Structure 1
Amino acid sequence: MQEEGQGCAGILLAAVGAVTAVLAWAPKARVSVHGGFEGMHRDLSVLYVDLPLIAAGGALVPLAAWLLALRASRRPWLAAAFAVGALGLGVWGLLSWWTPYERPEFMG
């Protein structure tokens, strides 16, 4: 019974990680979806390339950290704290590293 609870916690942690990563990523991707000034910078590839990668990374990073910490310590609360820390570091890295491509303004 305890293993089922840990499995459910892992799935819940992966879902929370994916949602958190996508919500943190969305404001930076907004300019690519809306196009900025007069729609000049519209690039919808962020929706079918970047969005699935961000969601997968947001799900897999805390899940992997949780599994590694759970295997090493056998304490679910410590593994959950480690996974939340990994998610926080992952979101921080995403926000500091990822910037959507913006084409240069037409100078004519």
Structure 2
Amino acid sequence: MSEITDQIWLGSYKDAANERFLGERKITHILCCADELPLMVGFPYSSTLEGQKLTDIKEAAELLDIWASDGKKVMVYCSDGLGRSVSAVIEYLITYKQWSYMLAYDHLKLRRNI
């Protein structure tokens, strides 16, 4: 699991299932970005970025903003924590934090081996 901001963590399904690790980091909300995985407290979205699925990424980013703005600590995950969850976090950083794509991508790359 990788800390992306003070309130957003990024990881895999295995990370999201690690209650001890979540508790130590005071994670309050979990966002699932993989419809093939069981949801903890989740938001399923498919790995394709066509049509309606693009809206799902924007909805995931909006949910991240709502939770983060409310002071919640959020774990965002997908199967390996390298694709879909990364896309949702990048969308959040671009849309709600006004970061450029390259800044968001480079930041995630620095924080997590993507």
Would you call these one fold, judging by a TM-score over 0.5? no
* Structure whose residues are more often helix by fraction: 1
TM norm structure 2: 0.30
TM norm structure 1: 0.31
Structure number with greater Rg is 1
